[in-house]
Amino acid sequence: MASSPASNQLTIVVEESDGFSPNRMYKAVQSYLASIAVSGASTARRLCITVPYDGDDNAEVRSEAIQITVDTREEVVDFYQEAKFLWRVAIRESNRRSGFGNSGQFFYNHGDPTEVKYFELTFDERYREFAIKSYIPYILEQAKTIRLWTNNEDAMWKPAKLRQVATLNTLAMKEEKKKALIDDLSKFVQKKEYYNRIGKAWQRRYVLFGSPGTGKSTLIAAMANFLRFDIYNLELTKVTSNDELRSLLINTTNSSILVIENIKCSVELQEGEKEKKPTAEGSANDDESKITLSGLLNIVDGLWSDCGDERIIIITANYKEMFDPALLRPGRMDILIHMGYCDSSVFRVLASYYHSLTNHPLFSEIGELIEVISIITPAEVAEALMRSDDAEIALKGLMDMLNGKDMSFDHMVIEALWALKKEWGTRLLEHVDI
Question: Which whole-number Å values give the CA distances from 44 to 107, 115, 136, in the listed order?
Answer: 30, 21, 20
Looking at the structure, tell me whether residues 43 and 121 fall in a common domain. yes
Looking at the structure, tell me whether residues 59 and 187 fall in a common domain. no
**Dist CA 29 CA 135 (whole Å):** 11
Looking at the structure, tell me whether residues 288 and 315 fall in a common domain. yes
Last residue of a domain, one of 92, 113, 142: 142
Question: Which whole-number Å values give the CA distances from 327 to 201, 302, 309, 317, 318, in the listed order?
Answer: 18, 12, 21, 12, 15
Question: Which whole-number Å values give the CA distances from 431 to 286, 287, 317, 424, in the listed order?
Answer: 16, 18, 21, 14
Looking at the structure, tell me whether residues 269 and 365 fall in a common domain. no
CATH number, domain of 203, equals 3.40.50.300
How many domains does one find in the chain?
3
**Residue 306, C-beta contacts closer than 8 angstroms, at least 6 positions apart:** 201
Looking at the structure, tell me whether residues 136 and 174 fall in a common domain. no
Looking at the structure, tell me whether residues 207 and 258 fall in a common domain. yes
Domain span holding position 398: 344-403
Per-residue pLDDT of the chain (434 residues; tens, 9 = 90+): 444 444 699 999 999 876 666 788 988 898 888 777 765 556 677 878 777 665 666 666 554 456 677 878 788 888 888 899 999 988 887 765 555 544 444 455 555 557 788 999 999 999 999 999 999 998 988 777 788 889 888 888 887 767 656 788 778 888 889 999 999 998 998 888 888 888 888 899 999 999 888 999 999 999 998 888 889 999 888 888 888 888 888 888 888 999 998 776 433 333 333 444 455 554 444 444 577 777 777 777 766 666 677 899 999 988 888 888 888 888 888 999 999 899 999 999 899 888 989 899 999 999 999 988 888 899 999 999 999 999 999 999 999 998 887 554 455 565 556 555 554 544 444 444 44
* Cα Dmax for the chain: 85
Looking at the structure, tell me whether residues 371 and 318 fall in a common domain. no
Model's pTM, two decimal places?
Answer: 0.62
For the chain, first and last CA: distance in Å?
A: 65
Looking at the structure, tell me whether residues 48 and 132 fall in a common domain. yes
Buried b (16+ CB within 10 A) or exposed e, 255-272: bbbbbbbbbbbbbeeeee
**Strand order across the 83-100 sheet:** 2-4, 9-15, 106-124, 83-100, 75-80
Distance, CA of 5 to chain centre = 43
